[in-house]
Amino acid sequence: MNSHDQPNLYVRDGGRRYLPASPDQIVAAAREVVDQRIRRGAALHAPEAAQALFLEKLGGCEREIFAVAFLATRHRLIEYREMFSGSIDGAEVHPREVVKAALLLNAAALIVGHNHPSGITDPSGADRAVTARLKQALALVDVRLLDHVIVGGNSSVSMAGAGFI
């Protein structure tokens, strides 16, 4: 690899020196930028806003990650949390843990999302089943499931928009 192939991104060490950034440091910095763009209190009224959130957070991940956006009564973001991770083709989701987190955060509603590393956004049978289980479990504690967003590559699909919720 010659000097022209090296990345032009640098990070500051503990002092004043700048060193070439590693791929992990670049990803960490990118996540910080995304976190700054989606702050607590951001409104997620439209399905497009939720899709944009999950697309920014989960697009390009190599493993399947299941995340939750916990919302206040007027669909304002309380917290975004990546709750479960798996392999390239699945992640085990525990509705009990989602309900527990929703109660601890005093959420009125939530939007869940996960990525398909394959890039295919079509909801699978397992996606539809976990959505139904989550909706049922959350309803027992008066928390509404508004949507389930599936991210694949640079696109996403809203299961609510597709009529699955």
Per-residue pLDDT of 20-56, as tens digits, reads 777 666 666 666 655 555 555 566 667 788 888 888 8
Span 8-24, mean pLDDT? Answer: 73
Burial of 7 (0-12, 13-18, 19+ CB in 10 A): exposed
Q: How confident is the model at residue 1 (pLDDT cuts 50, 70, 90)?
A: very low
Burial of 57 (0-12, 13-18, 19+ CB in 10 A): buried
Check if the beta carbon of residue 101 is closer than 8 Å to that of residue 137.
no
pLDDT of residue 57: 85
pLDDT in tens, 138-157: 999 999 999 999 999 888 99
pLDDT of residue 28: 63
The CATH class of 39-158 is: alpha beta
Domain boundaries, the chain: 1-37, 39-158
**Encoded tokens for 87:** 């392999």
